[in-house]
Chain A
Amino acid sequence: MKKIIASLAGVALGAIAVASAAQAQGTSTLAAVKARGVLNCGSNTGLAGFGQPDAQGNWNGLDVEYCRAIAAAIFNDPAKVKFVPLSAKDRFTALQSGEVDVLVRNTTWTMSRDTSLGLNFEAINYYDGQGFMVKKSIKVASAKELSGASICVQQGTTTELNLADFFRANKMELKAVTFATNDETIKAYDAGRCDAFTTDASGLYAERLRLAKPDDHMVLPEIISKEPLGPVVRHGDDQWYDIVMWTHYAMVTAEELGVTKANVDERLKSETPDIRRLLGVEGKHGEALGLTNAWAYQIVKHVGNYGESFDRTVGAGSPLKISRSQNNLWNKGGLQYAPPIR
């Protein structure tokens, strides 16, 4: 019996010791990530343009590239990411329990999530919002002209509520045709049950490709709701928060300054002060983050700037061909704006 008690006690003590060691380590996410040698990134289980596997099983997409950029900033190696695919239900638990270091899984930034869930949202890597897709044949150029048109929408979603709000606010007549699942909704629209289909704009572009005749349909320019998507971290580690946030801003700044994956080596010799600061030729901005001063150089070198990443995954260079619009740089009519690195 004593043996058992002794061995049980030993096990318990050992567990406690290791647990407390882990906790001591856990105060700094960056230290834990460095010790582990790999970034645990909460990712999507598959969403067109944001995170999907290719034929070789490598993950691609806008959110995936964000994770790779963080890894590039820390390790100078974009491959040191372990993607943990999470469903919408367990994504926050996984982040809170420490199973993932950062959640980049097209998650909408809302106040309640930011506050009561103990999470921190930071940058917005994709401004999404609800939009409309219509048949070209009904000759509508704006969502304001949709009064009286039948609209296919998925039941019980915020999409349905937003739709009702938009029509009421604009004093238009709403004829909503609702379906239980997204697949059913798009099937019905394709079969001609409605004149228009509504969901988040990024989804509209993906769904359009599945239609029997994609060229007969167009996405209207109006966005009727705000769905800011961005990475999430836990409360309580400001250094880690800064690293994840500035990874995005470094990519946006690089685009603004015209620094690309191709010309980044050449730009190291640039005389422009902004570029010199971004690439770590001048100043100690990287060290202030707990990284090396070449952090932003590593991001651009391995992943590219924001524009390149957008283009490759969801934009003109991809099958989705989503226009930049709101996600363009602030000086080109969009909302992407990075605080200065200085």
Chain B
Amino acid sequence: MTDMSALPPTGLVNYVRRDAAQPLPPPANMTGWQGWVRENLLSGPFNIAMTIISAFLLYWIFAPLLNFTIFHAVWTGADREACLITEARPVVGACWPFITERLQYFIYGSYPLDERWRPTIFFALLLVSVAWVLWLNAPRRDIGMLFAFVFTPAVSYWLLTGGNPAFALVGVLALAIDAAGAVFGTVGSILSAIPFIGWILALPFNAVDRALNLIANGGIGGLREALGRGFFWFDLLISAAALAAYVFRNRIRYTEADFRTALTTILGVAVAFGLFVGVTGLDAGLKPVPTNLWGGVLISLIVAFVGIVFSLPCGILLALGRRSKMPAVKLFSVILIEFVRGVPFITVLFMASNMLPLFVPEQYAPDKLLRALIAAAIFASAYMAEVVRAGLQALPKGQYEGAMAMGLGYWQMMRLIILPQALKVTIPNIVNTYIGLFKDTTLVVVVGLFDFLKTIEAARIDPKWAAPTTSATGYMFAAIFYFICCYAMSRYAKATEERLGKADKR
């Protein structure tokens, strides 16, 4: 045993230091803010020049901005008199009392005054949903998902429109029977080579369904229009699904498990839809509020959130469809994506607002807000599909092959291996699409909807507030609102990106 650590006895080499010298503090001009300034702003002639130019630019931009919004702004007043240029006040900045007075209008639009607690609850629900879903440490996020994607939409629909009593009674029943008929018809058609059996199976359901439709359309109160409209589109959808299932019945070999899955899925959707309709139809004596009275932030948020919520799942499906080997699925996805991307959003909105009433009878034309919502959802989905496809294509082929070698099925492969990686690399682009969509909501003004920006535009022309800076104040307020929303989205995305990117940095 040798003692490597043994030191020579003291006194032998006294000139050798035993311990490290205390480090001297760095020079004063290398630390603190002086150091930072020196290092980052004044490290060389070029840097000094850039600093001076930047400072000048910042001053050039921010001095007038601050002057306008704060130092020269008018903060109180009852009408335009407060914001006029007078002898005592030769320079007038932002006219904030205009915003204060109209704030309610910017948030709720023309929503009836006594009913505004309803949109307020909607905003609260939305806030809770967003916080619950997005905050990673929140408790029971699975319930949060349910809350955000089922409870909030159903209750909000019910709150904002005022419910649909006739819908609740007849609607649930008819829809359930409709769905059951569709299931039996579809399954029957697939099961047998003879479609006749499917038809017989579905017959009683269809008869009852028609009868209920007739009752509903026959006139339970004034809501039969809405009912008839709902059934028309629902029938169309179910029929299309049944047709598709029939056409493709021999393409794919089905196992018993497939049937069970299909059946539970369809029944599950029917039950969820029925519950949704049931909740939305509850009659609690709420006054119906037609959508043409909605406006302001309310409309902007509804359009944006419907677009955001629908675009990711639909976009993923479309992206997978486009890369699918099944020709029909591929063709459908390609046509939808290319058509939507080839036409400006504003054109589709114009079509929806001007052409649709010419094509379908007035009572079957969907509500204006609904048209805008559908258009926004489809648009966002098509763009999202391309973003997701970029992510799918960025993955090396080995990932796919590896997953297949493990014996994973298509959906397992996608769910466990491909999509988590593909979505991770596309987060910046996904959020970019969201931000774009959020700002695009201002286009709904072309179908006569008063979104946040339009309420400002409508209010700024009011002669009661006609003053030199009223318009500029309105637009400034809009800019601040949109900036806060978009910046919040981008910050959250950045945090997510960093969280998911930890593995790459190791």
Residue numbers of A with Cβ under 8 A of B are: 1-4, 6-8, 10-11, 14-15, 18-19, 22, 37, 45-49, 52-59, 82-87, 90, 93-94, 97-99, 183, 190, 206, 209-214, 318-320
Contacts and interface: CB of A to CB of B under 8 A. Distances in A.
Given A3-B242, A22-B362, A209 B222 contact: no
Contacts, number: 153
A99 B461 contact: no
A86 B448 contact: yes
Nearest to A42: B448
B232 A97 contact: no
Given A2-B195, A3-B198, 5 more contacts: A3-B195, A10-B235, A15-B360, A49-B463, A57-B111
Contact of A56 (B105, B239, B358): B105
A53 B110 contact: yes
A55 B467 contact: no
B196 A53 contact: no
Nearest to B203: A3
A165 B214 CA distance: 64
A84 B454 CA distance: 14
B458 A53 contact: yes
A47 B461 contact: yes
B113 interface: yes
7 A-B pairs with least C-beta separation: A209-B466, A57-B110, A46-B458, A319-B463, A3-B199, A2-B199, A1-B195
Given A14-B232, A18-B361, A56 B104 contact: yes
9 contacts: A3-B188, A3-B198, A4-B239, A7-B185, A45-B445, A48-B462, A206-B461, A210-B468, A212-B85
Contact of A82 (B101, B292, B450): B292
A342 to B, nearest CB: 38
Given A2-B199, A45-B448, A209 B357 contact: no
Given A4-B239, A6-B206, A85-B450, A46 B457 contact: yes
Nearest to B184: A3
Which of B198, B210, B222, B362 has the most chain A CB atoms closer than 10 A to its own CB?
B362
A319 B293 CA distance: 26
Nearest to B186: A3
B463 A85 contact: no
Interface in B205-261: 206, 210, 213, 217, 222, 228, 232, 235-236, 238-239, 242-243, 246
B454 A45 contact: yes
B463 to A, nearest CB: 4
A29 to B, nearest CB: 12
Given A3-B189, A22-B361, A57 B242 contact: no
A53 B362 contact: no
Contacts of B165: none
Interface residues of B, number: 68
Interface string B161-204: 00000000000000000000000010011000001101100110
A86 B368 CA distance: 13
A4 B217 CA distance: 22
Contacts of A15: 232, 360-361, 364
B466 A319 contact: yes
Contacts of A49: 463
Contacts of A59: 110
B156 interface: no
Contacts of A48: 461-463, 466
Nearest to A11: B235
Given A45-B458, A46-B461, A319-B463, A183 B105 contact: no
A10 B242 CA distance: 15
B178 to A, nearest CB: 9
B470 A210 contact: yes
B109 interface: yes
Contacts of B441: none
A84 B461 contact: no
Interface of B: 79-80, 84-85, 101-102, 104-105, 108-111, 113, 185, 188-189, 195-196, 198-199, 202-203, 206, 210, 213, 217, 222, 228, 232, 235-236, 238-239, 242-243, 246, 290, 292-293, 295, 350, 353-354, 357-358, 360-364, 445-446, 448, 450, 454-455, 457-459, 461-464, 466-468, 470-471
A18 B228 contact: yes
B105 A53 contact: yes
A212 B84 CA distance: 7
B248 to A, nearest CB: 13
A214 B446 CA distance: 33
A55 B105 contact: yes
Which of B243, B446, B463 has the most chain A CB atoms closer than 10 A to its own CB?
B463
A319 B464 contact: yes
Contacts of B185: 3-4, 7
A11 B364 CA distance: 12
Nearest to A210: B466
B80 A209 contact: yes
A114 to B, nearest CB: 21
A56 B109 CA distance: 8
A97 B195 CA distance: 41
A55 B101 contact: yes
B357 A97 contact: yes
B236 A11 contact: yes
Contacts of A8: 239
A19 B206 CA distance: 22
A211 B104 CA distance: 27
A58 B189 contact: no
A22 B243 CA distance: 30
Given A1-B195, A22-B361, A206 B466 contact: yes
